[in-house]
Amino acid sequence: MIIVDKALERREQEGNPIRVAMVGAGYMGRGIALQILTSTRGIKLVAISNRTLSKAERAYRQAGIDRVISVETVFQLEEAIYNKQYAVTDDAVLLGQAEGIEAVIEVTGTIEFGTHVVLKAIENGKHAILMN
């Protein structure tokens, strides 16, 4: 086991997984969601943002998560995270603003839009992972 695996395992055991959110629920986004939700210990995909909410919901469903909550405000998103609910939104900026999110994965394939989302996340002290 490598160092990262041990660190993630420890966070899982402590009940403190890394809380990540993802922007984009296309082919690559669905694959990332599936990997995190089914095979990655110590990381929790707490929210997915997509222009079309049904596509964000589909990403969760394909990974075996049937119960998601739609949110429109930072407060609603933070409340969902606090209550250990999976959230979807069409407002990607919320992900960078929510206190309960540690990292934002940008998977839209749209450079300019993705840049705005990532800058908002960085402004709020979040890690950013870009797939573009």
pLDDT tens for each residue of 74-119: 999 999 999 999 999 999 999 999 999 999 999 999 999 999 999 9
- Three-state SS for the chain is CCHHHHHHHHHHHCCCCEEEEEECCCHHHHHHHHHHHHHCCCEEEEEEECCCHHHHHHHHHHCCCCCEEECCCHHHHHHHHHCCCEEEECCCHHHHHCCCCCEEEECCCCHHHHHHHHHHHHHCCCEEEECC
pTM equals 0.94
